[in-house]
Chain A
Amino acid sequence: MSANPVSERTFVVDEPQGRAGLRQAIPAEWTKFWSVRSTAWSLFALIVATIGLGVLSTHALHSQPGGVPDPMRRIFVGFNLGQFAIGVLGVLFISAEYGTGQIRSTLSVMPRRPVVVAAKAIVMGAVGLVVGEVLAFVTFFVGDSMLAGTPSHVAFGSPGVLRVLIDSGLYLALLGLIGLGIATVLHNSAGSIATLAGAVLILTLLVSAMPKAIIDAVSRYLPANIGSTVFALRPPGRFQDVPVFSASVGLAVLALYAIILLGAGCYLMIRRDT
């Protein structure tokens, strides 16, 4: 009475060579990135924060007859908020998958976790870099054009300007990756956004309330303080009387954060159930 299998068909005839990897994962994650509304919303918030706040801030400079020592920092004031918007974009890129269960679909088509994380990081990094650089240049030209004819006006060719523009775009890209890294470790949207806000905004306030010795030792490692150097035309060795890294060392520190978080996230994804 026992049932017998029908003759077996071979289903692997048209299987391509090799195996599924980054070459497939990157375009797939690219499709996923652009097909959810939160991407558009986060980018919109990012644009409003960076360009919008820059315009408001430089407009206020108009009535400053003597000019300010570093107008660049005023033009880029919106980047302090924008870093949070792009961080949230990075967070949601993976936390929304955990929140909705989508991650189980993703891992069933690509069981190798590091490939998924790497593809997401490449997409997030590329988008962050392009968007960041465009925003840096647009924010500068819009803001600076409003300062034309005032003592605060910055000539595009003056030393350090190009450095600030390029580094500011890079800064935003790295914040997107840090957001992605936090959520790869924590999985949860609310927890990851809170952690991001803590690292970017709250930690800075907290440390500034500490004894001087701690401030001097710690504050140069905080993303927001690294940002202050990145956005400044003449990066001081000290910022508001606190030792800080140079812009390029600061960016390297941020890159290290992103790598550590993404690496830890991969490790945990491999270890944990999904």
Chain B
Amino acid sequence: MIEARGLSKRFGDVLAVDDLTFDVQAGLVTGFLGPNGSGKSTTMAMIMGLDHPNAGTVTIGGRRYHDLRWPLREVGGLLEARAIHPGRSARTHLASLAIYNDIPVSRVDFVLDQVGLSDVASKRVGKFSLGMGQRLGIAAALLGDPAVILLDEPVNGLDPEGIRWMRTLCKSLAAEGRTVFISSHLMAEMALTADQLVVIGKGRLIAEMSVADFVARSSTKSFLARVGSPDAFVGAVRAIGGDVVTNADGTMTVTGVDAVGIGDAALAARVAIYELSAQASLEDAFMELTGATVEYRGVA
């Protein structure tokens, strides 16, 4: 269980992570989705105690990373940029990490086999392809049989077969009851792998919901409404087949009907409309998220 509370990180003028609050549950694959530069790697680095937040906290099972007693036995992390000395063999690299946490060195060959690197275990890491480097990073994350696994863009550099393997691995790790948190800038990949989503843009939380809900909501257009008598409004909209959710600030999010339908229903029910604006659908958000850097409208 990972809990981020008001996490913020500034690099000079860039607010890379902005007041981010979210939970990652055990037993599920949680996808951390956002376009390039939205702050995913920075957030991962803060979870692992490598970057210091300017504000907020993040804990794993209630403890800061720094306070974990045997970090590798509790959290396995794959960082985005390769974090391995190229001069050592894969086996020696993993052995040095294992020794640091009193993990039996027999685990090294076990995880090398698990990620399919047994044949190149004695080869210098500098000679590895991007995909092999990625698999070695995943082997390191699995070394301590940890309850929490963090993978930053794990499918980077993997071929289609590798991507499928990664997907199956994440699901089975979660099925064993582990907390699996994987970042990606590809919505399509997350839709296939993840159960739950934490979506960010420009360092801010955009949505935290199940993949199923995300997909369901992404195919409908929604409207934001401010009205005179909410109860009558809800009844009127539901009567014509729409759905209304009352937001915390008293506004309403309406889905399932168009603007003309909303206006006519309100008029018939004698409800004053003070404001009615179309919201970007989550599909738009998808596009924006998976596209390049764009300004975000306020969605969900």
Listed in ascending order, the chain A residues whose CB lies under 8 Å from chain B are 1-12, 15-16, 18-20, 24-25, 27-29, 31-32, 35-38, 96-97, 100-112, 271, 273-274
Contact assessment for A104 and B79 in the assembled complex, using a CB-CB cutoff below 8 Å: yes
- Cβ-defined partner of B50 (8 Å) among A4, A10, A15, A108: A108
Going nearest first, the 10 A-B pairs with the smallest beta carbon separation are A5-B27, A9-B177, A11-B147, A19-B69, A6-B27, A3-B195, A104-B83, A28-B99, A102-B85, A101-B83
Once A36-B85, A101-B82 are accepted as A-B contacts, the answer to whether A1 and B216 lie under 8 Å apart by CB is: yes
Minimum CB–CB distance from B200 to chain A (whole Å) comes to 19
Contact A109 B101 (CB under 8 A): yes
From B70-78, B113-121, B243-251, B290-298, the one touching the partner chain is B70-78
**Contact across chains for A8 and B27 when beta carbons are under 8 A apart:** yes
B147 CB → nearest A CB, Å: 4
Q: Once bound together, how far apart are the Cα atoms of A24 and B146, in whole Å?
A: 18
Contact partners of B140 in chain A: CB under 8 A:
105
Known: A6-B177, A15-B69, A109-B71. A1 touches B212 (CB 8 A): yes
Q: Tell me the chain B residues, 160-196 only, with Cβ under 8 Å from chain A.
A: 174-178, 195-196
* B269 beta carbon closer than 8 Å to chain A: no
B212 touches A3 (CB 8 A): yes
CB < 8 Å neighbour of B49 from A16, A38, A107: A107
Of all chain B residues, the one with the shortest Cβ separation from A105 is: B83
| B66 lies within 8 A of chain A by Cβ | yes
Smallest beta-carbon distance B98→chain A, Å: 8
Beta-carbon contact of B146 and A15 below 8 Å: no
Q: How far is the CB of B66 from chain A (nearest CB, A)?
A: 5
**Is B198 part of the binding interface, using a Cβ–Cβ cutoff of 8 Å?**
no
Contacting residues, chain A, for B100 (C-beta < 8 A) = 20, 24-25, 28, 106, 109-110
* Segment with Cβ contacts to A, from B86-94, B220-228, B258-266: B86-94
In the complex, chain A residues whose CB is within 8 Å of the CB of B79:
101, 104-105, 108
Additional A-B contact list (12), CB under 8 Å, known A29-B96, A96-B85: A3-B212, A8-B26, A10-B147, A12-B73, A24-B100, A32-B96, A96-B87, A104-B81, A109-B72, A109-B97, A110-B71, A274-B51
- B267: chain A residues at CB < 8 Å are none
Whether a CB of chain A sits under 8 angstroms from the CB of B209 is yes
Please report the C-alpha to C-alpha distance between residue A102 and residue B125 in the assembled complex, in whole angstroms.
12
User: CA of A32 to CA of B92 in the docked complex: distance in angstroms?
Assistant: 8
Q: Cβ of B145 < 8 Å from any Cβ of A?
A: yes
User: What is the chain A residue whose CB lies nearest that of B89?
Assistant: A35
Given contacts A9-B177, A20-B101, A35-B92, contact A108 B71 (CB under 8 A): yes
CB distance from B39 to the nearest CB of A (A): 14
Which residues of the partner chain B approach A103 to less than 8 Å between Cβ atoms?
83
A24 to B102 Cα, complex, angstroms: 6
CA distance A3 to B174 in the complex (A): 12
Q: Is B36 engaged at the interface, CB distance under 8 Å to the other chain? A: no
Contact with A along B200-222 (1 / 0, CB 8 A): 00000000011111001000000
Can you list 18 A-B contacts (CB < 8 A)? A1-B213, A6-B177, A9-B147, A16-B102, A18-B69, A20-B70, A20-B71, A24-B101, A28-B100, A31-B99, A32-B88, A100-B84, A104-B81, A105-B97, A109-B71, A110-B71, A274-B45, A274-B51
Report chain A residues within 8 Å CB of B285.
Answer: none
Minimum CB distance partner of B137 in chain A: A105
Q: Which residues of A contact B146 (CB under 8 A)?
A: 11
Instruction: Let me know if B27 and A7 touch, CB within 8 A.
Output: yes
Task: Answer whether residue B28 sits at the interface, using C-beta atoms and an 8 A cutoff.
Answer: yes
Please report the C-alpha to C-alpha distance between residue A51 and residue B210 in the assembled complex, in whole angstroms.
Answer: 69
Chain B residues within an 8 Å CB radius of A37: 87
Task: State in angstroms the CA–CA spacing of A155 and B71 once bound together.
Answer: 56
Chain A residues whose CB sits within 8 angstroms of the CB of B195 once the complex forms: 3
Bitwise interface map of B from 50 to 66 toward A, beta carbon under 8 Å scored 1, else 0? 11100000000000011
Which residue of A6, A19, A108, A273 contacts B77 across the interface (Cβ within 8 Å)?
A: A108
In the bound assembly, the distance between CA atoms of A16 and B96 in angstroms comes to: 18
State how many angstroms separate the Cβ of A36 from the closest Cβ of chain B.
Answer: 4
In B11-53, the 8 Å CB interface with A consists of 25-28, 45, 48-52
Is B236 among interface residues, defined by CB-CB distance under 8 A?
no
Please indicate the chain A residues that have their CB under 8 angstroms from the CB of B130 in the complex. none
Question: Which residue in A2, A19, A32 is a CB contact (below 8 Å) of B213?
Answer: A2
Instruction: A8 to B70: give the CA distance in the assembly, Å.
Output: 20
**B9 CB to nearest A CB, Å:** 9
Q: How far is the CA of A274 from the CA of B95 in the complex (A)?
A: 22
A102 partner residues in chain B, CB cutoff 8 A = 83-85
A165 vs B58: C-alpha distance when bound (angstroms):
54
Q: Which residue of chain A lies nearest to B196 when distances are taken between CB atoms in the complex?
A: A3
Is B68 close to A, CB under 8 A?
yes
Smallest Cβ-Cβ distance to A104: which chain B residue:
B83
The answer for the CA separation of A2 and B85 in the assembled complex, in Å, is 42
Which residues of chain A come closer than 8 Å to B96, judged between CB atoms?
A: 28-29, 31-32, 35
Q: Which residues of chain B come closer than 8 Å to A29, judged between CB atoms? A: 96
Residues of A within 8 A of B178 (CB): 9, 11
Q: Which of A3, A6, A106, A107 contacts B210 (CB 8 A)?
A: A3
B75 nearest in chain A by CB position? A108
Q: Are B84 and A101 in contact (CB-based, < 8 A)?
A: yes
